[in-house]
Amino acid sequence: HDQLFDTLLVYENYPIDPSAFMNVADLAVSDFSSREYNHYPLSFVASPGEEMALRVEFDTDVFDATAVATLVERFQHVLEVMAADPEQRLSGVDVLDAAEHAQLDGWGNRAVLSRLAVELASIPELFAVQVARAPEAVAISGGGSAWTYRELDEASNRLAHVLAGRGAGPGRNVALLIPRSGEAIMAILAVLKTGAAYLP
């Protein structure tokens, strides 16, 4: 969008006593409606009273009815939660329902990420296991070249010895300025083999 912002929230708290209109002699209103227009793609207009009224208007070229209905449900949920406990922080209100949390858990593979690892191992240790398992298998392929696990292991060992000789080791950072390539993977692995951390 080209606007600075595209959502408008209006709280129409006019200083008018609604009861003043309840008993007006010789006046009867059978039906009343009005239309207002603004150029924002999404507008929420809240009006206080015995029950709060909420009017939502949206540009159908920008939002679909399902998305707007979801926004309204979440807004209503926030209002209900805050009304029940006004002291809590707004940032602490969870606007997602159980089904949405389950969907996010599936996308993020939370079951695997939250499972305790059977064994803790460093990247070089895990790489060494793979080298022993399949030394001639292709580890990296791209840019017209390919590296086997054995070749990658040997090359990273050579560079790791050079880096260690120049002070790389645990507690140190090694900056790498190298384009995406097999050599970049090899250099990262070499730094990790020294016990240092790499800085891309």
CATH number of the domain that residue 148 is part of = 3.40.50.980
pLDDT at position 2 is: 65
Residues 44-82 as b/e (b if ≥16 CB within 10 A, e otherwise) read bbbeeeeeeeeeebbeeeeeeeeebeebeebbeeeeebe
**DSSP single-letter state for residue 78:** H
C-alpha distance from residue 117 to each of 39, 109, 127 (Å)? 54, 15, 17
Q: What is the Cα 47 distance to its own chain's centre?
A: 33
Domain boundary among 86, 113, 140: 113
Are 87 and 174 in a shared domain? no
Are 12 and 108 in a shared domain? yes
Where does residue 142 fall: left (phi above 0), alpha (psi -120 to 50 degrees), or beta otherwise? left
Are 140 and 190 in a shared domain? yes
Are 64 and 22 in a shared domain? yes
pLDDT at position 29 is: 67
CA dist., res. 181 & res. 160, Å (int): 18
Domain boundary among 67, 91, 113: 113
Q: Is 20 helix (H, G, I), strand (E, B) or coil?
A: helix
How many structural domains compose the chain?
2
CA dist., res. 105 & res. 115, Å (int): 13
Domain boundary among 113, 146, 178: 113
Nearest 5°: phi and psi at 116?
-65, 135
pLDDT per residue, tens digit, the chain (200 aa), is 566 778 888 888 887 776 666 666 666 767 767 777 778 899 998 888 788 888 899 999 989 999 999 999 999 999 899 989 999 898 888 888 888 888 888 888 777 666 666 667 889 999 999 999 999 999 998 878 899 999 999 999 999 999 999 999 999 999 999 888 889 999 999 999 999 999 98
pLDDT at position 23 is: 62
In a domain, 1, yes or no: no
Range of the domain at 61: 7-113
Q: Which of 36, 88, 178 is nearest to 189 (CA)?
A: 178
CA dist., res. 57 & res. 54, Å (int): 10
Site of tokens 């793979």: 130
Give the residues across from 11 on adjacent strands: 46
In a domain, 118, yes or no: no
Are 42 and 128 in a shared domain? no
Are 84 and 173 in a shared domain? no
Q: What is the Cα 96 distance to its own chain's centre?
A: 13
Biggest CA–CA distance in the chain, Å, is 99
